Amino acid sequence: MKAYRAALLRFDPAGTATAPLPLYESDGLLVVDQGRVVAAGAFSALQHTYAHVPTEHCPQHLLAPGFIDLHIHYPQTDVIGSPADGLLPWLEHYTFPHESRFADPAYALAVADVFLDELQRHGVTTALTFATSHPASVDALLGQAEARGLRMIAGKVLQDRHSPDGVRDETEQSLRDTEALIQRWHSRGRLGYAITPRFVPTSSEAQLRGAGELAAKYPSVWIQSHVAENLDEVRWVQQLYPQARSYLSVYGQFGLLRERAIYAHCIHLDAEDRALMRDTGTAAAVSPTSNLFLGSGFFDYASANEAGFRYGLASDVGGGTSFSPFQTMLAAYHVGRASVTGGGTAKRGLSLKPSQLWWQHTAGAAQALGLGQVVGTLAPGSEADFLLLNPRATPLLARKTALAESLEELLFSLIVLGDDRVVERVMVAGGEPYAPAQHP
């Protein structure tokens, strides 16, 4: 057993997007044992019960749940910052050619290592990530995640049409490979598998049907894909499925909307789609830096809250521009401000509260994954993935956070001014602190 004394941020697992229920102690105690949280709360309330436990005192630091990235592509680590006139040219010119390199397992292994270093350096302790269409790319990532003790979910991309040589797979083989990977990796320690059709245009009907059948056969396996990100993409899906009510409904038709299904973007949805998200238990991975970079559009927070479907934050590297949850939360704030609610003179943007943004990247993302009782909150009994943050990591942050008079002000300063320098230590399952390997 070990205890940490510092300022402490937790979330009540009963929190929601509009009422995230942050719990904050300016002098807190977090007690961990065998990878789990034993107790968390005010130092004054817990100090006697845990007086015998070795305690590390970290004054002027903040303990907080590890961040959860709801949608990221590990093979796109080196695709960040590739400019294009929107999603489809970006895929064609940069992403597909780059992903074809992952046919080489040694290359995949090297990138997986760099990717996990980047996640951990930025305080991300769980991610739902795409691999490539090459099955060994999943083995490369999940093998390394296992060695690090990380809670990680990944899947082999399914893309058997409208895809170039080098990344295109073959329908029957792709489904056999997916099932073999489920059996190899799903629920092995902290690892999970996600059935991963890239998006509607790049999978045949047979492949989507097969994916849906696997999703029904393995209900605890996740599903991840993209939907309604870009208007050219939406039009393409309309041409491919002229009878479909909407792009989202195509996934529904193949049994791919359910609990533990996470769809990136969800920008160009209508009210009926949002109700379908809610009614099926499907969640959205909101990816603001990606949406701004590729000019895709803005996630509509007000309509999402009105409909009441689940969502959380994601980097979407390499369409996204940063591994940093601080950058992602700030971009989400900008997206909220830029969104327009109401009409006439009532038109105005939304101001997401810092605790709402933070929730979307921790407890809310965990709920979207169906892991709300497992990670993201630091509630007693949950897994002890946590961060030691230094609110004075830079001169400007030190000045700004010293002025904070409330939790919201403190969190906002970190969101606006913070980066990986704030993340002083990353503890995975209460274990040894993460020390990044040296890369030249």
Q: Is 226 in the site for ligand GUN (CB under 6 A)?
A: yes
Copy the structure tokens of residue 251: 């996934």
Window of 59-67, 258-266, 355-363, 417-425 that interacts with Zn ion by CB under 5 A: 258-266
Q: In terms of CB distance, is 264 or 397 closer to ligand GUN?
A: 264
User: Residue holding tokens 């997007």?
Assistant: 17
Q: In terms of CB distance, is 20 or 319 closer to ligand GUN?
A: 319
Q: Which of 316, 383, 385, 420 forms a contact with ligand GUN (CB under 6 A)? A: 316
Q: Is 95 in the site for ligand GUN (CB under 6 A)?
A: yes
How many other CB atoms sit within 10 Å of the CB of residue 348?
11
How near is the Cβ of 357 to Zn ion at its closest, in Å?
20
* Nearest position to ligand GUN, beta carbon: 319
d(CA 218, CA 155): 14
Q: Is 264 in the site for Zn ion (CB under 5 A)?
A: yes
* Angle between helix 105-121 and 135-148 (nearest 10): 40
Q: Are 292 and 246 in contact (CB under 8 A)?
A: no
User: Residue holding tokens 């010293």?
Assistant: 402
* Angle between helix 205-217 and 171-185 (nearest 10): 20
How near is the Cβ of 197 to ligand GUN at its closest, in Å?
10
How near is the Cβ of 135 to Zn ion at its closest, in Å?
19
Window of 51-59, 87-95, 148-156, 254-262 that interacts with ligand GUN by CB under 6 A: 87-95
Beta carbons within 8 Å of 296's beta carbon, 6+ residues apart: 86, 87, 229, 230, 265, 267, 290
The residue count for binding ligand GUN (CB under 6 A) is 11
How near is the Cβ of 368 to ligand GUN at its closest, in Å?
18
Q: What separation, in Å, do the N-terminal and C-terminal C-alpha atoms of the chain show?
A: 37
Amino acid at 386: F
Q: Which of 319, 325, 364, 376 forms a contact with ligand GUN (CB under 6 A)? A: 319
Considering only residues 143 through 202, tell me which ones interact with ligand GUN, judged by CB under 6 A: 198-199
Q: Is 229 in the site for ligand GUN (CB under 6 A)?
A: yes
Considering only residues 314 through 333, tell me which ones interact with Zn ion, judged by CB under 5 A: 316
Q: Return the DSSP state at 95.
A: I
Q: Is 87 in the site for ligand GUN (CB under 6 A)?
A: yes
Q: Is 73 in the site for ligand GUN (CB under 6 A)?
A: yes
* Residue closest to 126 by CA, chosen among 433, 428, 394, 430: 428
* Residue closest to 362 by CA, chosen among 298, 291, 314, 418: 314
Q: Is 274 in the site for ligand GUN (CB under 6 A)?
A: no
Copy the structure tokens of residue 320: 């996204």
Give residues in contact with Zn ion (CB under 5 A).
264, 316
